[in-house]
Structure 1
Amino acid sequence: MKPNTVAPQSAWSKSSYSSGAEGNCVTTAILGRRIAVRDSKLAFEEEQGVLLVQARAWADFLGLVRS
């Protein structure tokens, strides 16, 4: 899916741990029971897609990363 068809620009957020200066981060948008994930460097590229994952799977992933 293309980023701008999944969620409006205002729905996307980036982690406070991301380095804002270089733009090297992943942004996410909460879409009910799904989480959309995209590479912020490529956010406006038409050819770039978005990874959609179930909210529970995303929560499990974050739990593992944080531990």
Structure 2
Amino acid sequence: MDPLELEDHIPYAREASKVSLGEMDKDIQMLRTGLADVAREIEFHRTLPFMREFHARSTLRSWRTSSRT
């Protein structure tokens, strides 16, 4: 496929590639807020004894699995 013929193959590529920076900034801020909420939730769960054990075991299992490859 010739890159110069991209619009022939994907007619809406030009329109879809237009980005509103204001909308993108709002989306990024929403993602940051969501990630902060997840981080707070994780920290809360780390204070619970059974979650500390779960996290330790899952981290160890993950490490063992990744070291085999």
With the shorter chain as reference, the TM-score category is under 0.3
Tell me: higher relative CO, structure 1 or 2? Use CA pairs within 8 A at least 6 residues apart. Answer: 1
Larger CA Rg, structure 1 vs 2 = 2
What TM-score do the two structures reach when normalised by structure 1?
A: 0.26
Higher strand share: 1
TM-score (norm 2): 0.25
